[in-house]
Structure 1
């Protein structure tokens, strides 16, 4: 199966230090997935690689075939994958606005009927868990319902080095066991959803909203 790991931070400067703390967490997630879930394909999608999309115009608002190549390519990847891992810091007790901005460029039909996993982190003691609570609602509205187990990394700078390897006094196996509970849930649900999508096309059954917001209205 294919999974996309979204890194939802674009703050690449100091202060605060260290810069791009989330990159460490994302790299650690990738290392765990590559070690323990070798049968699956994982791709990192870094919000920092999409600076032009900071000026919001959703992919579906472009005239047909006129969307930027970068957005078209990412739309295809979202449609083709089996699940998502969303890595976010906590800003003002909420998820990263950069992550929300990037995801909101695409209609929910691309994300729908596939599971997601929530990974949050912080430089302090809470590990971004308050952002994670809001992410449950956000991701559910996209249709990629989050699995129940979540990953929180408090004081991430003390846990992982810049390339995502554990700090010298950190137990990698313990952290990978902790990550693995969430990733095992993600893989289980992705397999179940994928098998059922092969039997019943959810987009045909539920009819995606593609023309106008009024399609959501009651009669």
Structure 2
């Protein structure tokens, strides 16, 4: 099985401090997944590693020209993945614009029929849970429905060290058990959808919308 962790923050400056708090969260998720599923392939996709053009042009619009190498490489990784972990801070009660911008460069045909897990965090007491509610709708439209359990980390700067370790070592089991509920759901659904995709290609059963929006219209 192959899972991609999408880190949806590109803010690499202060104030506020600490910068790139989400990187700590992503590293903690990576550590937990590697312990829990040692035979799986887990890769971190950092939005900061994908500088995008100022004029929005999605990957699928490069039909008659060569897409940027970074987008092509990421498209291949998304297509070959079995599930996704979406890590986001909260901006105005919504998901990170850096994350939505990166994901919006790709059509749902790459993400669809695979599950996702939502992980949010904040420096305050709510842990980004308001952003997580909106992410459910976004991810369902992208085709990678989120599992029911979500992960919220309030005051993440107090919970996690800079390298993503649990600040109080004795709390690691409790936190990883909390993470594990979500990741176990993700793994179950990823196994189930992979088995079904191997039997029946969903893109042949349910045609993708690739020409124009009228394909979605009722008769």
TM-score range, shorter chain: over 0.9
Q: Residue in 1 aligned with 2:96?
A: 96
Q: How does 1:34-183 map to 2 (within 5 A)?
A: 34-53=34-53, 55-64=55-64, 66-168=66-168, 171-183=171-183
Q: Return 5+ residue gaps in structure 2 as ranges.
A: none
Shift of residue 52, structure 1, vs aligned partner: 2.4
Offset of residue 55 of structure 1: 3.7
Deviation for aligned residue 1:63: 2.8
Structure 1 SS opposite 2:84:
strand
Output the CA distance in 2 between the equivalents of 1:54 and 1:162: 31
How many residues are matched?
219
Matched, 1:3 2:6: no
Aligned-pair CA distance for 1:209: 0.8
Are residue 190 (structure 1) and residue 186 (structure 2) matched?
A: no
CA–CA distance in 1 between the matches of 2:186 and 2:169? Answer: 29
Instruction: Provide the C-alpha distance between the structure 1 equivalents of 2:177 and 2:53, rounded to a whole number of angstroms.
Output: 36
1:127-175 CA-to-partner distances (Å, cap 9, x unmatched) read 0000000000000000100000000000000000011011136601110
Q: Which residue of 2 aligns with 1:12?
A: 12
- Give the TM-score normalised by structure 2: 0.97
- Report if the CA contact (8 A) 1:54-1:101 is conserved: no
Deviations 1:107-134 (A, max 9, x none): 0110000000000000000000000000
Q: Take 2:79 and 2:98, find their aligned partners in 1: how far apart are those partners?
A: 21
RMSD between aligned residues: 1.1
Change (3 A) 1:53 1:42: farther
Distance (whole Å) between structure 2 residues aligned to residue 109 and residue 19 of structure 1: 34
Q: 2 CA distance for matches of 1:36 and 1:65?
A: 42
Distance 1:145 1:45 in 2: 19
SS in 2 for 1:6: strand
Structure 1 runs (4+) greater than 6 angstroms displaced: none
Is contact 1:85-1:117 (8 Å) kept? yes
